[in-house]
Structure 1
Amino acid sequence: MEPTSPLQYLFGYPGGRAIELLEALAESEIEVVRPRDEREASVMAEMYGRLHRKPGVLTGQGPWIGSIGAIGQMEARLGSSPMVVLTEASERGDYSTLAPYQQARGDYGGFALPKILDGIAKEWWFPRTPNETLRSTQLAFKHATAGRPGPTAVVLDGDAVTATVPEDDDPPALWSPEEQTKNWESSPTATDVERAAEHLANADRPVVIAGNGVHAAGAYDELEAVAETYDAVVTTSYLGKSTVAETHDLAGGVIGSFGHEGANQAVSEADTLLVVGCRLNPMDTNWGATSFVRPDEQTIVHADVDTRNAGWVYPADVGLIGDAKQSLSALGEAAGTFAPGNDWARDRAENARESFRAPECESDGEPILPQRAVAAIDEVVDPNTLVTADSGNNRFWLLNYLQTPARRTYFGSGGVGGMGWAGPAAVSAAITTDRDVIAVAGDGGFAMTMTCIETAVEYGVAPAFVVLNDTSLGMVRQMDDEIPGVDFHDTDFLKIAEG
């Protein structure tokens, strides 16, 4: 990749034959970010891919990339973040078949990293020659960003790691990285766009549900243009939060079982729904509540990069299959054929936004209520601030009471939804941007990856860490406070950070 690749950062941990890869990067301009373990490295790489919309690169020794390093890869797969994993099979050459130690090829006596990758990666490669290594790495970058983004992996082993690339031009040929990694955006058909535009233009109560696909495509201008053109309320899924500024006069908040009542009511009242880049998972749909989305009574237009997702949970009247940016752009252009407009959307959105505040947000009681803590965060967040949210109750407090002032300012664990995500994600964002960053986690999640503070210190960045400490796994305790294992002793996280 170096020097023709635009790669700027590599997140990883030295070990096994990944050491040889890192040695080769010692003189390059690529910055190697080494956190405290492969789990944190995987989250940092995933966050990089999600934030910058180009592959975050993770490297490390095969056994640990396939175990603790799987956390970030699973989040990337289910959260549609582009990611490339460069790992290895540990044993060298002929020793892989001789009572191996940490061997990951899958031979007798070792374990099978490829089988692990089968369940996580979009695609993976196991090159056997130097030429295959180059081609596989190029294809890994291509596949990571093709269609729905996700993680890909290259498993290095034997001579494929360090052998010299032949200088002859014998086939099969190697192409330049620019040629081999190029992708093309897909667009919906003109017929489908016209049908969708007609439904939206004739709607009296149109509502958009914007999901993570809008983030992945960077389709913010297009989303806002469609909302304003068709006078549609814009709600979001929890992964779609901040696809539109939640202060916009058409913003209606976050839908779902842990979202805003106002947003849920707007979706329920709609006569036409435009679902963009959202698969409508059970939490989005209030666990399939029959009063929420009603395909027999509402017109549903479903835009997604993958035709399998359009009409997956609810039957769709029109499917727009293509990149979200392309689909929304086409819808905006098609509006000229019609005369869209209604007297409902702006007033309905304004009413829906009232759900961002509750009396608890103003409470001065002690211990500090989580609603009040999030209200305090909301007071200091500006359009240049990034907020990362962990899994658990903290995320749901943020969904409800953090009103994002700009697009692309909130990122939460929600692909696979692993705890311990927010801290490393915030450090990754702080290292790779010049923006202010706030990580919010519960005490359970923060304790899992609090060594990321040391990484922040080492790399000279200072994200703010907010710990909503209820000395428990609060979300689990809410289900039944008699469940064993939900309570923690009260930890002084401030002293830990000072150390």
Structure 2
Amino acid sequence: MSSAPTCAQVLMRLLRDYQVEKVFGIPGVHTIELYRGLPGSDLMHITPRHEQGAAFMADGYARASGKIGVCFLITGPGLTNAATAMAQAYSDSIPMLVISAINRREDLGMGRGRLHELPQQSDASRGFCIWQHTLSQAEQLPEVMARAFQLLQSSRPGPVHIEIPIDLFPAPMPGQLEDYKAAPAAMAPAANSAAISTAAEWLQSAQRPVILLGGGAQSAGKAATQIAEKIAAPVFLSLAAKGVVDERHPLCGGANLSFDCARNRVQNADVVLAVGTELSETDRNLVRDDYAFSGKLIRIDIDAAQLVCNAQPDLAICADAKESLQQLEAALIQRDATAGEHSEKEVAQLLKDCRKEWWDGSEQRFLWVEALREALPENGILVTDSTQLAYNTNHALPLYHPRSHVTCTTGYGTLGFALPAAVGAKLSSERDVIALIGDGGLMFTLGELAVAVEQRLPLPILVWNNAGYGEIRDFMDAAEVPQEGVNLSTPDFVALAKAFGAEGCRIDQPGQLAQAVADALGRQTPTLIEISAPSGAEQMEA
């Protein structure tokens, strides 16, 4: 007769039954018994070089795939090292399951100075998790995991943190390992039929409707496009929703809500349908003023609290975005072709007008944006950090498919995201991935290049090298603040890449980018492509 499975073994079994394939983590003294359960579980373990990298990888994995990113962390410093990345995931509603160790149950709250001891560790993560739980008995694990996955799969997602005392990892569990199964996921909540009827009536009679899509509409792009075509409505995207609707579509106004002409069109609409969006300043690329809607506002969101955040709706529908838009599309009637042609012309003019509002330097960097669009495969994924060129790709680089835009320039806005997130994104699917990061941001997480080498990832990493924190430098100049702390001494990135076992090259012309990326995608190792960013004088001459 086989021996009873341990808590750690049951955990691995449940993760696989919940369709988890990969976990990101760094083993430590406190998680030895956790890792004893890993062999034979069919889970692939990825070892980053820092716990922040683990959570960023899980984040990128989740955004690119729509699956849940999973991290294993040690007690204390493992959790606090990952905190920034977890907060980014919380801000952007990314499904992430974090399993961390905690000291033995008899030591909790005693202040005995145990290894990795963090008093009230659960409090450290509570502010950036949608749910946090400390396991007190091994037998509770199946129920706790079921609750975690229900939250991650059936509500507005974000990080869930489960901490397990180290004495529970080897604890025996009742029954056989095969007895432990995943709980069935809840069905996505559909909208109230009366609310759908009202929304359809308003949209059908509207003369100047508009659709706004946020990150919560990632799976609803097809239905949103069909609605736009039926009622001849322009569609605008938050930065988190780039690609949800094909940005080549003649009714798509792209992620241009930071520009007055696009915002004015939204604010002067007689009916606005806003789906899965906070209507926040980061949706509009740091435009602080809230929308001043002059018409009726319909909001659809799976999170009831978000339905009244930043703007009071005239009709609030708390339901799944995809389910709701499919219901709504079925209730609408196709308008005549003349209305569609008029809206298409209007959107084309709006896109031209938006370009007139681009901020200083954008027009010159647009040559690089065009080169990047040429280099990025049609179904490719662009992963961006907070860096000058990425702010231009946000609005000027069209994307064609959902889950093509993985960025930290929304919400929490941390640096160092793009490299590890691109590793996670590439590990999630066969789609091509390109990372774009600045020289300053790269130094935050440079060590994760070793993981890309170790995993033999054909990953182009574009480094926009402006010798410092260029965007902050520009803001200081605009505010007439002397430049302090923004001009950096940068290493030889190409030599660094080769020291890691990656490939490296340096380019300084947009025309060189497509070939450099194509070469990188053809290798079985990452390639760091350093872009010598033009100086202000060079930009003026371009």
Q: Please give the TM-score of this superposition, normalised by the length of structure 2.
A: 0.81
Amino acid of the structure 1 residue aligned with 2:345: D
2:330 corresponds to 1:329? no
2:167 corresponds to 1:159? yes
Aligned residues of 1:225 and 1:332 also touching (Cα < 8 A): yes
Please say which of residues 218-227 and 34-43 is displaced more in the overlay.
218-227
- Taking the aligned partners of 2:355 and 2:465, their CA distance within structure 1 comes to 22
- Taking the aligned partners of 1:438 and 1:409, their CA distance within structure 2 comes to 10
**Aligned with residue 129 of structure 1, among 134, 137, 142:** 137
2:189 corresponds to 1:194? no
2:351 corresponds to 1:353? yes
State the identity %: 26
Structure 1 residues 28 and 303: CA distance shift in structure 2, 3 A = same
- Taking the aligned partners of 1:129 and 1:283, their CA distance within structure 2 comes to 42
Name the structure where helix makes up a greater proportion of residues: 2
2:178 corresponds to 1:178? no
- Taking the aligned partners of 2:279 and 2:187, their CA distance within structure 1 comes to 26
Match of 2:395 in 1: 400
**Aligned with residue 47 of structure 1, among 60, 73, 77:** 60
- Taking the aligned partners of 2:282 and 2:136, their CA distance within structure 1 comes to 44
Match of 1:496 in 2: 496
Structure 1 residues 125 and 496: CA distance shift in structure 2, 3 A = same
Q: Report deviation, 1:498.
A: 1.5
Match of 2:206 in 1: 203
Match of 2:314 in 1: 317
2:475 corresponds to 1:475? no
Match of 1:107 in 2: none
Match of 2:6 in 1: none
Structure 1 residues 165 and 238: CA distance shift in structure 2, 3 A = same
Aligned residues of 2:369 and 2:393 also touching (Cα < 8 A): yes
Structure 1 residues 355 and 240: CA distance shift in structure 2, 3 A = farther
Aligned residues of 1:47 and 1:429 also touching (Cα < 8 A): yes
Q: Report deviation, 1:489.
A: 1.6
Match of 1:171 in 2: none
Which segments of 5 or more consecutive residues in structure 1 lack a partner in the other structure? 105-109, 169-173
**Aligned with residue 75 of structure 2, among 51, 56, 62:** 62
Match of 2:297 in 1: 300
Match of 1:223 in 2: 224
Aligned residues of 1:229 and 1:340 also touching (Cα < 8 A): no
Instruction: Provide, for residues 43-66 of structure 1, a one-character-per-residue CA deviation record: whole Å limited to 9, x for no partner.
Output: 011122222222111011121332
Structure 1 residues 175 and 355: CA distance shift in structure 2, 3 A = farther
Instruction: Provide, for residues 381-428 of structure 1, a one-character-per-residue CA deviation record: whole Å limited to 9, x for no partner.
Output: 232211011124333111122111333311211231211111111111
Aligned residues of 2:203 and 2:209 also touching (Cα < 8 A): yes
Structure 1 residues 264 and 98: CA distance shift in structure 2, 3 A = closer
**Aligned with residue 370 of structure 2, among 372, 375, 379:** 375
Amino acid of the structure 2 residue aligned with 1:140: A
Aligned residues of 1:430 and 1:436 also touching (Cα < 8 A): yes
Match of 1:487 in 2: 487
Q: Report deviation, 1:73.
A: 1.2
Match of 1:34 in 2: 47
Structure 1 residues 161 and 199: CA distance shift in structure 2, 3 A = same
Structure 1 residues 158 and 451: CA distance shift in structure 2, 3 A = closer
Structure 1 residues 214 and 94: CA distance shift in structure 2, 3 A = closer
- Backbone CA RMSD of aligned residues: 2.8
Aligned length: 476
Q: Report deviation, 1:185.
A: 1.3
The SS at the match of 1:223 is helix
Match of 2:525 in 1: none
Structure 1 residues 262 and 130: CA distance shift in structure 2, 3 A = same
Q: Report deviation, 1:128.
A: 1.8
- Taking the aligned partners of 1:418 and 1:336, their CA distance within structure 2 comes to 44
- Taking the aligned partners of 2:103 and 2:353, their CA distance within structure 1 comes to 53
Structure 1 residues 357 and 494: CA distance shift in structure 2, 3 A = farther
2:7 corresponds to 1:25? no
Instruction: Provide, for residues 111-165 of structure 1, a one-character-per-residue CA deviation record: whole Å limited to 9, x for no partner.
Output: 2210012111111111122211332233222222231011111111143221111
Aligned residues of 1:360 and 1:372 also touching (Cα < 8 A): no
Aligned residues of 1:93 and 1:158 also touching (Cα < 8 A): no
- Taking the aligned partners of 2:47 and 2:476, their CA distance within structure 1 comes to 40
Aligned residues of 2:64 and 2:404 also touching (Cα < 8 A): no
Match of 2:277 in 1: 278
Amino acid of the structure 2 residue aligned with 1:497: A
Q: Report deviation, 1:94.
A: 5.2
- Taking the aligned partners of 1:412 and 1:39, their CA distance within structure 2 comes to 16
- Taking the aligned partners of 2:211 and 2:338, their CA distance within structure 1 comes to 14
2:388 corresponds to 1:388? no
2:232 corresponds to 1:234? no
Q: Report deviation, 1:33.
A: 0.6
Please say which of residues 402-411 and 218-227 is displaced more in the overlay.
402-411
Amino acid of the structure 2 residue aligned with 1:347: K
Amino acid of the structure 2 residue aligned with 1:398: T
Please say which of residues 76-85 and 310-319 is displaced more in the overlay.
310-319
The SS at the match of 1:208 is strand
Aligned residues of 2:204 and 2:333 also touching (Cα < 8 A): no
Q: Report deviation, 1:83.
A: 0.9
Match of 2:151 in 1: 143
- Taking the aligned partners of 2:179 and 2:214, their CA distance within structure 1 comes to 36
Aligned residues of 1:45 and 1:72 also touching (Cα < 8 A): no
Aligned residues of 1:196 and 1:318 also touching (Cα < 8 A): yes
Match of 1:443 in 2: 439
Aligned residues of 1:360 and 1:369 also touching (Cα < 8 A): no
Q: Report deviation, 1:341.
A: 7.8
Q: Report deviation, 1:339.
A: 8.2
Match of 1:429 in 2: 425
Instruction: Provide, for residues 320-340 of structure 1, a one-character-per-residue CA deviation record: whole Å limited to 9, x for no partner.
Output: 210100111111011149989
Aligned residues of 1:374 and 1:402 also touching (Cα < 8 A): yes
Q: Please give the TM-score of this superposition, normalised by the length of structure 1.
A: 0.88
Q: Report deviation, 1:495.
A: 1.6
Match of 1:342 in 2: 339
- Taking the aligned partners of 1:486 and 1:256, their CA distance within structure 2 comes to 28
Match of 2:253 in 1: 252
Aligned residues of 1:256 and 1:283 also touching (Cα < 8 A): no
- Taking the aligned partners of 2:106 and 2:65, their CA distance within structure 1 comes to 37
Structure 1 residues 17 and 93: CA distance shift in structure 2, 3 A = farther
